[in-house]
Structure 1
Amino acid sequence: MQDRALLRVTALEKSVPGGRQLFRGLDLTARAGQLIAIVGESGVGKSTLLNILAGLDAPDAGHVAIEDTILDTLDEAALTRLRATRIGFVFQAFHVLPYLTLRQNVALPLALVSNDRRAIADQAQAMLARVGLGTRGDGYARDLSGGELQRVAIARALVHRPALILADEPTGNLDPDTAAKILTLFSDAVREQGVAAIIVTHSAAAAAIADDVLTLTASGLERAR
C-alpha cells in the first residue's frame, strides 16, 4: 500500500555537548514510495538526524518509529537487527568493499539474515541487473567508476527490501551528468519497491527529485517547497 507510513518521527529534540540545541519539536512522516530531501546549513544537524533515524544516536526527547517499531523500546541487539533488516544506507563515499566482488557487496545485507547462499547470490545478481550492472557481478570495485560504485551501493541498500532508506549526500562525489543518472535510478527504485527514503543533501539537483523538500532549522523541519 503506497500510502502506508513507514517512518514516523514525533517531537524530536537533540542538543550537542555544551548545551547548544540542534533542533526541537521535529515531526516527520515518510510513506511507502515517498522520497524526502532534507536540506539546511552546515552544522544544523542533518547528519545527526540521520543517525537518530537509524538508531545510531539517541534523541534527548521524542520518538522514532519504523513501521510499528519504536526505536527507543529496543536494546542494542534489537536495534542492530532492525538496521540489518529494515533500513538501507547509501553514502557519499559509497563504502563498497574492494576485496569483495560486486555480487558479494550487494549480498551483504542478505547474508546477515539468511544462510541460503544460492538464494542470496540470485537476489544480489537480480538487483545488480536492475541497476544496470548485471554483467559485472564477478568484478571488483577497483574497476568501477564513481557512478558505477554508487549503483552498487544503491543495489545493496535495496536488496533486502527495507522499509526505509537513508542517504547521506549520495551524489556528492559524482560529476553532474553522472549524478543526474544516479538520482533518476534511485528515485525510480524507491518508488518501484515502495520504500520510504530520506536524503540529506546540499545538492539542488538531488532535492529536485524529491516529493518533498524540508529545511532543517533549530525549530524543526520547515517545508522548502
Structure 2
Amino acid sequence: MISPLPILDVRALAKSVESRQLFADLSLAVAGGELVAILGESGVGKSTLLNILAGLDTGDAGEVRVEGVELDALDEVRRTRLRRERIGFVFQAFHILPYLTLRQNVALPLALVSSRAREIDARADAMLAAVGLGARGESYARDLSGGELQRVAIARALVHEPALILADEPTGNLDPETARGVLRLFAEAVRNRGAAAVIVTHSAATAEIADRVLTLTAKGLRP
C-alpha cells in the first residue's frame, strides 16, 4: 500500500558540473510503498542525482528531505547517521570491502547501529540466502563474479530495512532469471515494509515493476 505522505521530497533541485547544467527545477515526491524508476541517456546525471538524494553530494539549489528532514540542514555527522539508519544504497561499483567476508559486508549497516552480534549475523545470512548466496557467507569478494558481487551489494542495502532505497543499475550485471528474483526483493522491501525506492536503470524489466517511470533531462524529470 502506498502512503500519502512522502518519504522522499525533492523540490526545485538543480546541479551543474564543470559549468555544464545537468538538471534544474527537479522536483520529486516518493511515498512509502512506492517504487520509482528513472531512465535517461548516459551522462545526463542519473548517478549524480542518486548521490544527492543520499546526502553524498549536494545540489546547487533546491532541497532534499528524507522523512521530513532536510539533508542540507544537517551537519556531516547527523547526515551520516541518517544515511546509515534510514537509507539503503546500491552502488553501481558495488563497494564491497575485500578484507571482509560476504556476511560481514552485508552486516555492516546493522553493525553500525547495533551490538547484538548473533542477531546481526542471522539477518545477514537471511539476506544472503534471499539473493541466492546463502552458502557463501564466509567467502570474500575475490571469490565472486561481478553478478554475485552485485547481489551482495543489494543484500547489504536491504538488510537494515531502510525507509529509502536508492539503487544505481541494480540488475546491470545479472542474468535475466537472477535479475527477476532481485527485482522481486525490491518490490517486497518497498511495498510490504512501506519503504520508498528510486532506481536508476536502463532495464525494461526494472521499469516494468515500478509504480512510476520518469525520464531525467536537463529540465528535470518528465513522465
Taking structure 2 as the reference length, the TM-score comes to 0.90
SS in 2 for 1:55: coil
Paired with 1:190 and 1:6, the residues of 2 have a C-alpha distance of: 11
- Residue in 2 that maps onto 1:75: 75
Q: SS of the counterpart of 1:59? A: coil
2:222 maps to 222
- Cα distance in 2 for partners of 1:176, 1:123 equals 26
Query: Structure 1 residues 151 and 173, CA, compared in 2 at 3 Å: closer, same or farther?
Result: closer
Q: Are 2:35 and 1:13 equivalent residues in the alignment?
A: no
**Which residue of structure 1 aligns with residue 109 of structure 2?**
109
Give me the whole-angstrom Cα distance separating, in 2, the residues matched to 1:146 and 1:190.
25
Matched with 2:210 is 210
Secondary structure of the equivalent of 2:210?
A: coil
- Give deviations 1:33-83, integer Å, cap 9, x for gaps: 211111111221111111110111111111100002110110111111111
What is the DSSP-based 3-state SS (H/G/I as helix, E as strand, rest coil) of the residue aligned with 2:189?
helix
Output one character per residue of 1:58-115: Cα deviation in whole Å (capped at 9) or x when no partner: 1111110000211011011111111111111112333323332221111011111222
TM-score by length of 1: 0.89
Report the residue type matching 1:221 in the other structure: L
Q: What's the CA shift for 1:220?
A: 1.0
Alignment of 1:96-175 (within 5 A): 96-175=96-175
Structure 1 unaligned residues grouped into runs of 5+: none
User: Greater CA deviation, 92-101 or 73-82?
Assistant: 92-101
State the alpha-carbon separation in 1 of the partners of residues 7 and 28 from structure 2. 11
Counterpart in the other structure of 2:53: 53
Structure 2 unaligned residues grouped into runs of 5+? none
CA gap 1:180/1:221 in 2 versus in 1, 3 angstroms: same
Whether the 8 Å contact between 2:165 and 2:198 is mirrored in structure 1 is yes
| CA RMSD after TM alignment | 2.0
Give the Cα–Cα distance (whole angstroms) in 2 for the partners of residues 187 and 144 of structure 1. Answer: 25
AA at the equivalent of 2:200: V
Is the 8 Å Cα contact of residues 16 and 22 (structure 1) preserved in structure 2?
Answer: yes
Structure 1 stretch displaced more, 114-123 or 44-53: 114-123
Distance in 1, matches of 2:137 and 2:111, equals 16
Shift of 1:120: 1.7
Mapped partners of 1:120, 1:140: distance in 2: 18
* Native 8 Å contact 1:50 1:166 kept in 2: yes
Alignment of 1:174-185 (within 5 A): 174-185=174-185
Q: Which residue of 1 aligns with 2:29?
A: 29
> Hey, what's the Cα distance between the residues in 1 that align with 2:72 and 2:144?
39
2: distance between equivalents of 1:6 and 1:140? 35
